[in-house]
Amino acid sequence: MKHALILLNGQPSPEFAALAAALHRQLPGMLRFNVALLENGILQHGTMPLEHAMHYCLPALLQAGQVLLVEHGWLGSESKRELLTELAGYHALLLGIRQPGDTDELHAGFDYDGQWPLTEATSPAELAGEILAALPELSASGCWSSLQNLA
């Protein structure tokens, strides 16, 4: 896979987690990364907010050669700017996962490379297949465009 990182931006929910798991099953060489991986270490060893810890871990993992599938769902523009700044210069696809009940703020400021609707009736495996089929066509410019829009 030519992209070092696929970032799924969406509201954490059972459906979102199921979609990420379905994508990960089809992309087993990618490290699935989310805040849950950080919670125990941060709670035991410090007070850094989880979103900051996650953003700072991503470049380190990429520099170590990891290929990442990241689940993300932070709302504030400061958090989005921090994430996009940390990912500047890396090959990243920014994908929006829209769910019923999402606030406008969740997706505001992101210029997605692609976006898909996700509901309780959506089959995670089928949606993962749709996303995988679209990957070769996506531009990988969303992270850069989003950063410019948040400046």
Domain boundaries, the chain: 5-150
The kind and range of the H/E element at 125 are helix 124-134
Instruction: Tell me the CATH architecture of domain 5-150.
Output: 3-Layer(aba) Sandwich (3.40)
pLDDT at residue number 40: 58
Tokens, residue 119: 């509901």
Judged against a pLDDT cut of 70, whether residue 3 lies above it is answered with: no
* Average confidence (pLDDT) over 56-79: 83
Q: How confident is the model at residue 136 (pLDDT cuts 50, 70, 90)?
A: confident
Judged against a pLDDT cut of 90, whether residue 4 lies above it is answered with: no
Judge residue 20's burial from the number of C-beta atoms within 10 Å of its C-beta, 0-12 exposed, 13-18 middle, 19 or more buried: buried
* Percent with pLDDT over 90 in the chain: 28
Whole-prediction pTM value?
0.83
pLDDT at residue number 1: 44
Mean confidence (pLDDT) of the chain: 82
Residue 49 Rama label (left phi>0; alpha psi -120 to 50; beta): beta
